[in-house]
Structure 1
Amino acid sequence: MSPTWHGLEEPAPRPMAPGDWLRVGLRGAAILALLAVCFPLLLVLRIPERLICGLNRPVTPHITQFVCRAACRVLGLRLQMRGAPMTGPGAYVANHVSWLDIFVLNACKRLYFVAKSEVAGWPGIGWLARGTGTVFIDRDRRQAAAQTRLFEDRLRAGHRLLFFPEGTSTDGRRVLPFKTTLFQAFQSDRLRDVLQVQPVTVVYHPPPGEADTFYGWWGDMPLGPAILSSLAVRRQGRVEVVYHTPLRVADFPDRKTLAAMAEAEVRGGFPPERLA
């Protein structure tokens, strides 16, 4: 995992007008209502689902996807998909821009995120992440073998895991070099011949009059103001999710060549004028 990216000066908190606070209240209340109804339902259904299906989750991911799609509609954030999500066993790798990535990527396709272990302890967000099946990883190298086995078990159970190989979020105007450590799990004897890795590019287009970095969340920016600015804006922008051709793991000799190709594909999904 890489350290937090501090490539740009972090923006000052935006001043909030009465109309902004009204939009925050209305949109925030609608999203909280969605969570208040759907998340307990997910937890209740997960009990028989676990007993009957084990690691497989044939029902509850549909609830997560419904909530994420509805949240994007509440915000007014327009989703545009290009390409097609893969159909066989595999994992996704994507660039990381915003706290909104969770909603955007889950709205497009049912999947499970891989996140750093610290996220599990975040108030509210950690609880939601655990309930929706997020895989938490530890930066301790001594845990690498155990984490690889966990990835293998989840992938062989049919779960589509999504990794952020940059290891940190950015301003949305660049793709950082991919870290190769997590790609090692794809090269295991149990997965190599059956697994695909699909690169995914996430490109945020800002609301009218806002900078290209509007949806970015990086450095030491606190989460609260980042959420408030997205909730408060009068007219939202849009986000493109580009699904590239899946890469067959067996076609690559090692994790470094696989990671390099995935990185190149993700970077290639950006409009050239957007890359810093």
Structure 2
Amino acid sequence: MPRPSAPDAEPLSPRSRSDAPVVLEDPRPLPPERLRPLLRACLRLFLAAAWTLGCMPVQSVLLVLPGRGKRRFARLFHRVLCRLIGLRVRVVGQASPAAPTLFISNHASWLDILVLGSVLEAAFVSKAEVAGWPVIRTVARLGRTVFVSRSRGRTGQEAAAMRDRLAEGGSLILFPEGTSNDGNRVLPFRSAFLSLAEAASAVQPVSVAYDRLGGLPARRRDRVFFAWYGDMEIGSHFWRLAQLPSGGVTVLLHEPVAPGASADRKALTAAVEQTVAAGAAALRQHREPSPGLTRAVPLASRRNRRS
């Protein structure tokens, strides 16, 4: 018995065809207020990538050569890169001439690397995760970054690596908060990070604040654009940041102190933390601080003054 054939499908009527959604592209161009930020971001991304790729082979050669060329070129690289991405750096105070110096700074963003790298001839101490990031790990290694995992099993080995760097006469930049934040505060410093202080000739507190946006004083809500913390992705953060008008950041270099001026490591940590926090607060409030008035006074000296 033959199988019944399927009925012929009804052709779509003009009315049923019109029921299907139709997506039409908007022929109008983007308005200038939306187009300018995109063009600005694309230009900054291109210039930053071209400058970085061009500097990599130069720094690779300088690393194998004796002298301070590698440190000076790293500073030039960061200074130009800040300009290319629209970030102007203002410096208050003088960097310690002692070698080696342990620079202690607050931490709000990956931008701190570029900013401090443009001001100081020193290598960074960074978390081990950065060593696994594409491109950035190469730039970090060319900058002679010391990577630390902060795990108890490797603390001694990593501390030895940092001491060796200081013994070679190379200064280091530490972020003793251990993490970044929203840029509107300074987190408590961990005294373990200053265990290297005795191997340095001087300890210099540094306050960093992103205080300008579009030529105007930055407000509390504006500083969040510069901050990078939590689970933010660095690529998307840079893209959003690159669309903004030019920004400004101030680096306040406080007076350096002798590592042995405080009673112990915790006293030194407390004094440096107070100085960095006070300087950063003054910068956020757009007050002109003085490095001499915000110097880190050892706690032992304070006790003597009170008695």
The 8 Å contact of residues 250 and 283 in structure 2, kept in 1 or not, is answered as no
Q: After TM superposition, give the deviation of residue 272 of structure 1 in Å.
A: 4.7
Residue of 201, 209, 219 corresponding to 1:203: 209
Give the gaps of 5 or more residues in structure 2: 1-32, 286-307
2:190 aligned partner: 179
In the alignment, does 2:69 pair up with 1:59? yes
1:20 is aligned to: 37
Give deviations 1:159-181, integer Å, cap 9, x for gaps. 11000000101111100000111
Q: Confirm or deny that 1:38 pairs with 2:55.
A: yes
In structure 1, distance between residues paired with 2:72 and 2:261? 32
The answer as to whether partners of 2:210 and 2:284 remain within 8 angstroms in 1 is no
Deviation, structure 1 residue 228? 0.8
Structure 1 residues 85 and 273: CA distance shift in structure 2, 3 A: closer
Match of 2:139 in 1: 128
Mapped partners of 1:270, 1:63: distance in 2: 28
**What do the CA deviations read for 1:47-86 (whole angstroms, capped 9, x no partner)?**
3x1xxx4xxx511122211111111222232211111100
Amino acid at match of 2:231: D
Encode CA deviations 1:79-122: one digit per residue, 9 max, x unaligned: 11111100002110100111111111111121100001111011
Query: 1:115-143: CA deviations, max 9, x gaps?
Result: 01111011111111112100011222122
Q: How does 1:254-265 map to 2 (within 5 A)?
A: 254-265=264-275
Please say if residues 211 and 283 of structure 2, whose CA atoms lie closer than 8 Å, have aligned partners that are also in contact.
no
Give the partner amino acid of 1:42: Q
Structure 1, residues 167-205: CA drift from partner, whole Å, max 9, x if none?
Answer: 101111100000111211223xxx2xx621100000101
Partner of 2:116: 105
User: In structure 2, what is the Cα distance between the partners aligned to 1:156 and 1:250?
Assistant: 17
Q: Does 1:216 align with 2:213?
A: no
- RMSD in angstroms over aligned alpha carbons? 1.9
SS in 1 for 2:225: coil
Measure the CA separation in 2 of the matches of 1:44 and 1:170.
36
| CA shift digits 1:196-242 (9 cap, x unpaired) | 11000001014148623221111111111210122111x21210000
The amino acid that maps onto 2:34 is A
Any idea what the Cα deviations from partners look like across 1:9-59, whole Å, max 9, x if unmatched? xxxxxxx93322211111111111111111111112323x1xxx4xxx511
Greater CA radius of gyration, 1 or 2? 2
Q: Distance in 2 between matches of 1:125 and 1:37?
A: 15
1:237 corresponding residue in structure 2: 247
- Structure 1 position 253, deviation (Å): 2.4
| TM-score when normalising by structure 1 | 0.84
Letter in 1 for 2:50: A
Structure 1: 4+ residue segments shifted above 3 A: 271-275
How many residues in Structure 1 have an aligned counterpart in Structure 2? 247
Residue 9 of structure 1 is matched in structure 2 by none
The alpha carbon displacement at 1:146 in A equals 1.8
Q: Offset of 1:273 from its aligned partner?
A: 8.6
| AA aligned opposite 1:202 | V
Instruction: Give SS of 1:80's match.
Output: strand
Quick check: 1:119 aligned with 2:125?
A: no
Asked if 1:226 is matched to 2:243, the reply is: no
Give the SS at the match of 2:90: strand
Contact 1:97 1:217 in 2 (8 A): yes
SS at match of 1:212: helix
Deviation, 1:274, is 3.8
